[in-house]
Structure 1
Amino acid sequence: MDLEALTVESEGTVYVDREDTERGSEGPFYAVYTTEAATDRWGYFCSSCESVDNAMDTMGRIVCNECPNVRKPEEWDAAHE
């Protein structure tokens, strides 16, 4: 596994795995880990705007806070709207 080191102001160095992806509306989200061994998931890297400023809700929706990139929730129910 070849991870890309990325410096994040609040965290220091984190590691982006460009093979571990989640589909987004504007581009993929890549998994980000705190260790080079990819043992501790830290969050996601938005490929659309190259930001790690995003959030995931309890249904698995990922929303980038810097651009309109969104991953649809894993589970969806009309009652949630």
Structure 2
Amino acid sequence: MRSISTTDGTEIYVSSADGVRGSDGPFLVAYESPAADRRYGWFCTNCESVDNAMDAMGRIKCNNCGNFRKPTEWDAAHE
């Protein structure tokens, strides 16, 4: 795992093995410790940011560069 410091100085650990595909680059899972026992959030590889949002349907969007992941769940009522 790779160690990264966030803008507020928090040390997080990014796993290159755990991730999902995004439109401009993968989103990798970030953990609070190298033991990977507590998830911190998602790391956008396109702009190297953890400023991401995820909704209840599994859609992820990077607030910095716009990289996004399509929802994992579909509900016909939303179409």
Q: Shared fold by TM > 0.5? A: yes
**Partner Cα separation in structure 2 for residue 41 and residue 55 of structure 1:** 15
Runs of 4+ in 1 over 4 A off after TM superposition: none
**Partner Cα separation in structure 2 for residue 75 and residue 47 of structure 1:** 23
**Partner Cα separation in structure 2 for residue 11 and residue 31 of structure 1:** 18
Task: State percent identity of aligned pairs.
Answer: 54
Pick aligned residue for 1:43 from 27, 41, 56: 41
Return the TM-score normalized by structure 1. 0.90
Q: How many residues align?
A: 79
**Partner Cα separation in structure 2 for residue 80 and residue 31 of structure 1:** 28
Residue in 2 aligned with 1:34? 32
1:16 is aligned to 2:39: no
Q: CA RMSD in A?
A: 1.2
Question: What code does the residue aligned with 2:28 have?
Answer: Y
Unaligned runs of 5+ in 2: none
Question: What code does the residue aligned with 1:29 have?
Answer: F
Deviations 1:10-57 (A, max 9, x none): 361000001101110111000000011001011011011111100111
**Partner Cα separation in structure 2 for residue 7 and residue 54 of structure 1:** 16
Unaligned runs of 5+ in 1: none
